[in-house]
Amino acid sequence: MKKLNISVAAEPVFHIGEFPVTNSLLTSVVVMVVFLIIAVKAYFGSGKGRKKLPLWIRVVTEGVYNFLIWEYHHGEKVLVPFLRSPNASLSITIALALISVVTVQILSIKALGGKKYLGKFFNFKNPINGFVGILELISEFSKILSFSFRLFGNVFAGEVLLMVMMFLIPLIIPVPFLILEIFVGLIQALVFTMLTTIFIVVATEEHH
């Protein structure tokens, strides 16, 4: 009697030397080859050849290009993305940084009280404490800059990379970069959240 085999890991179907070729890898290669053939035919084919492409391929391709628009700047036609990540705008990242830093300060006041909170920044019992307090105050303001510019820089750089790749090689090639930027976006969200959490923990602890 035949048995049904369900495996979480992909099963190897053959080997190239010591390298196992799994069924999922084989499927991925076949799909990539098919899409590559379609892309090459669409890009290098004549106008007549392009008309023979299946309707759904043209619909999908035109749908992707509809996310891009052309505008004239200083008399020159330039490519402008119709959609853009919110965090690729410095005003959005500054707003997020302000929310994060203000939340940290509010929770710190709530946990320590107003007197102890101000004492972290304005302690003039001796010159060293006064200098350390000024540094603490500067560091709180610098968090706004570090938060906003870190997030903006990473996301904006990814947007530029995607735009350049789509402009140079509009089909197939930008897909890995898009996946990479999704991963980078998740990492940036995690970093932003973790740093805010750490700052909250540090700010709500009483200094001795």
Active site residues: 146, 150, 154
Q: Which residue matches tokens 């098919």?
A: 34
11 contacts 23 by C-beta, under 8 angstroms: yes
Angle between helices 127-168 and 174-203 (to 10 degrees): 170
* Residue 178, token pair as written in the block: 């898009």
Residue 153 CA, chain-centre distance (Å), reads: 10
* Residue 167, token pair as written in the block: 């402009």
Question: Which residues contact residue 90 at a Cβ distance below 8 angstroms, ignoring those fewer than 6 apart?
Answer: 148, 149, 152
